[in-house]
Structure 1
Amino acid sequence: MTTFDMLFFHVFQYYKNKKVRKADAIATCYLTFLQCALLLLLGVFFSKFFKQMHVETMSSSKAWTLYVIAVVFIYFKNWMQYGGRKRKVRNANILKNKRLNYSIWLIWFVPFSLLALSYILYQAF
């Protein structure tokens, strides 16, 4: 189990009790949001790094287009990976092993803090 799997199932288990029919969609959107925030942070870091090293790699518009394509790919990858039978098997394995004890507020704080770090890094140089 990866960290993303554990976070997905924790969000899924939390919202399964609150919103039965939307728990899978909420957990998939959360995981996509988290992975896209990480991708944005890495993209901003490398963009600023290459700018300081005076390396011309690609234009800003091409980079944003590549980012949007990556976001769509990440969403469909998560939708395929955590939908259907695979999710049920993994969920059963997680429930057998242990109960996750993370605060849902802390879990939702992580992607927003990554976005804040991306903004700070973008403004820093």
Structure 2
Amino acid sequence: MTTFDNLFYHFFQFYKAKKSKKSNEIATFYVSFLQSSLLLLLGVFFAGFFRQMHVQTMSATKAWVLFTLVVIFLYFKNWMYYGGRKRKVLNVKMLKNKKLEYNIWVLWSVPLVILGLAFVLSKAI
């Protein structure tokens, strides 16, 4: 199981008690948001690196379009991956393990911190 699977399961279990019908959507959104923010941070880093190396790979507009398409792909991939059978398999695997105890506010702040880092990195370059 990957880190994203563990985070999905934790969010699913946390919101299952509060909002049972929307718990899968919230957990899928969180995993997609986290992956997208990591992708943005990586893209900003490489854009700055290529700019300092004087390499012209693609324009900023094309890069943003590509980023948007990849984010849409990530969301639909996660939607298909964590819907139905995969979530049931995760439930069985996680029932055998001890319960994860993460603070939900810290987990929600992780993508926001990553977005802040991406913003600072983009202004520093």
Q: TM-score range by the shorter chain?
A: over 0.9
The aligned amino acid for 1:87 is R
- Paired-residue identity, %: 61
In 2, Cα distance between equivalents of 1:86 and 1:6: 12
Which position in structure 2 is the counterpart of 1:53?
A: 53
Query: Offset of 1:96 from its aligned partner?
Result: 1.6
RMSD: 0.6
Say which SS state the counterpart of residue 110 (structure 2) adopts.
Answer: helix
Gaps of 5+ in 1: none
Instruction: Write out aligned runs for 1:86-101 (5 A).
Output: 86-101=86-101
| Structure 2: gaps (5+ residues) | none
Give the match for residue 18 of structure 2. 18
- Per the alignment, residue 69 of structure 2 pairs with 69
CA separation in 2, counterparts of 1:95 and 1:28?
Answer: 20
TM-score (norm 1): 0.98
Deviation per CA, 1:2-52: give whole Å up to 9, x if none. Answer: 000000100111000010000000000000000000000000000000000
State the alpha-carbon separation in 2 of the partners of residues 41 and 89 from structure 1. 31
Matched residues, number? 125
The corresponding residue for 2:4 is 4
Return the TM-score normalized by structure 2: 0.98
User: Once the 2 structures are TM-superposed, how far is the Cα of residue 91 of structure 1 from its aligned partner?
Assistant: 1.4
Structure 1 ranges of 4+ moved more than 6 A: none
